[in-house]
Structures are given as structure tokens and as C-alpha cells.
Chain A
Amino acid sequence: AQTVTQSQPEMSVQEAETVTLSCTYDTSESDYYLFWYKQPPSRQMILVIRQEAYKQQNATENRFSVNFQKAAKSFSLKISDSQLGDAAMYFCAYRSAGGNTGKLIFGQGTTLQVKP
């Protein structure tokens, strides 16, 4: 079975600085998707960024980028120029590319505090 591990329960960053959230996963599959979701206090899940395992290039979305190391099964999220609105709980998630369900497996989450 696939597992996702986030070893940092809490992180803090100064506004305008850069922070990296860690995520590792375990799978025997070769084709899959990885995601980072943001959950602000409203509890609405928001997709931050996604990465297809077959792509070597790291995904980037504005201030958000990932460092995808497939061999090491590592998928970290870098937030540049942190803003107060980035404060939230962040979840790393895994989804198999095969099969028909598309269910997500989530990590434990990392609570990010942004200090003004």
C-alpha cells in the first residue's frame, strides 16, 4: 500500500522569506501523481500544485515550486516570497495513475505560520 509522510507538523516563516515543506512517499508503482493541497482556516481544500511522476521537470506555479526526486521518493514544496495568506495547513497527497478511482492518499499535514 502507498503511504505519504510529512515529518514537519509545524513550520514558520517570516513574511517575504522562503520556506520548504517536506514530503516523502512510499510506492511500488512507477506511474502516479503527487499533489500539494492547502487548507486555510475555512477548511476548504485548495490545490496548490501537481506533479506527474513521468515528468522529470519540477512543477512550478507562481511562488510555489516543487523538488521532485523520484528515486528518493521525495516531493518537497517551496514557497517563495511568503505572504500572510499562505498561512494554512498543507497536505502532500499521492494518487495512482492506474485504476479508475483516482482516490488520494494524504500525508499528516504541516501547519505553516507566516510571521509579519
Chain B
Amino acid sequence: GAVVSQHPSRVICKSGTSVKIECRSLDFQATTMFWYRQFPKQSLMLMATSNEGSKATYEQGVEKDKFLINHASLTLSTLTVTSAHPEDSSFYICSARTSGRAFTGELFFGEGSRLTVL
């Protein structure tokens, strides 16, 4: 099956700093990637939809200036949490879909990245 890799898996940073999380599709081209946020024992909440070569579409209530998403290539999307604060601490998960006729309806998920802001 298709593989999506996230890096880093864990990151600890000081309040006020920025953190970048990468999401890569290793063996397929992903025209669309999705970024989710998950609090402990809760569901995945969609933050934004990232399309290669265009601006991300953010869900209602998600600050686009706080969570910068870049999808510069068909295999890489990045999420940058700017000026992070303790309330940004969470588990962030990306997922990707194949494109065109290869799209089977399934999304492939990365391993997730746990962010802790001190």
C-alpha cells in the first residue's frame, strides 16, 4: 500500500518559537494532503486541505496565520506552527490521497507528530 511519512514524530519546543512538521508521500504522488489535529482520546479534527501548487483551504475556526501550510510538490506538504503556545500542544496527523484514476477513495495516513510546547 501507499506510504506516508511524517517527521518529526515528536517535538518539544519553547513557547513563542515556530515548529515545522513535514508530510511526505513516499511511493505515490499526492495532489491533495490533509492536516488533522487530535487531542488525547478524542477524534481527528480536520484543520486544512492542502493542494499542490495552490493555497490551502482552512476549516472554520483554524487560524491560517498560525498554522502555515505549504504544499510545494506532489510528495511534500509542511505544517508550520508559528509562535507556538502550550495550547497548541497536540498530536498532528497528515493524510494524502492519490490522484486521478489511481484514486481509490482511500486516504493514507502518516504516523503523526506529537508537539509539546513548554
A residues near B (Cβ < 8 Å) are 33, 35, 42-45, 47, 50, 52, 89, 91, 95, 100-109, 111
Asked if A106 contacts B106 (CB within 8 A), the reply is no
Max chain B C-beta neighbours (<10 A), residue from A89, A103, A111: A103
Q: Does B69 contact A (CB under 8 A)?
A: no
Q: A95-B107, A103-B49 are in contact. List 7 more A-B contacts (CB 8 A).
A: A43-B91, A44-B111, A102-B105, A108-B42, A108-B43, A109-B41, A109-B42
Bound together, the chains give a CA A102 to CA B105 distance in angstroms of: 7
Bound together, the chains give a CA A50 to CA B106 distance in angstroms of: 8
Asked if B109 contacts A103 (CB within 8 A), the reply is no
Q: How many residues of B contact A (CB 8 A)?
A: 22
For B9, the closest partner residue in chain A by CB is A43
**Contacting residues, chain A, for B45 (C-beta < 8 A):** 106
Q: How many A-B residue pairs have CB under 8 A?
A: 52
B residues near A (Cβ < 8 Å) are 32, 34, 38, 41-46, 49, 57, 91, 93, 95, 97, 103, 105-107, 109, 111-112
For A9, the closest partner residue in chain B by CB is B41
**Contacting residues, chain A, for B109 (C-beta < 8 A):** 44-45
Instruction: Give chain A nearest CB distance to B52 CB in angstroms.
Output: 12
Asked if B32 contacts A102 (CB within 8 A), the reply is yes
Asked if B93 contacts A111 (CB within 8 A), the reply is no
Bound together, the chains give a CA A33 to CA B93 distance in angstroms of: 21
For A43, the closest partner residue in chain B by CB is B112
**CB within 8 A of A104: which of B91, B107, B112?**
B107
Asked if A45 contacts B46 (CB within 8 A), the reply is no
Instruction: Give chain B nearest CB distance to A60 CB in angstroms.
Output: 17
Instruction: Give chain B nearest CB distance to A99 CB in angstroms.
Output: 10
**Contacting residues, chain A, for B44 (C-beta < 8 A):** 45, 91, 104, 106
Max chain A C-beta neighbours (<10 A), residue from B32, B41, B44, B95: B44
Given A45-B95, A47-B106, verify A104-B34 contact (CB < 8 Å). Answer: yes
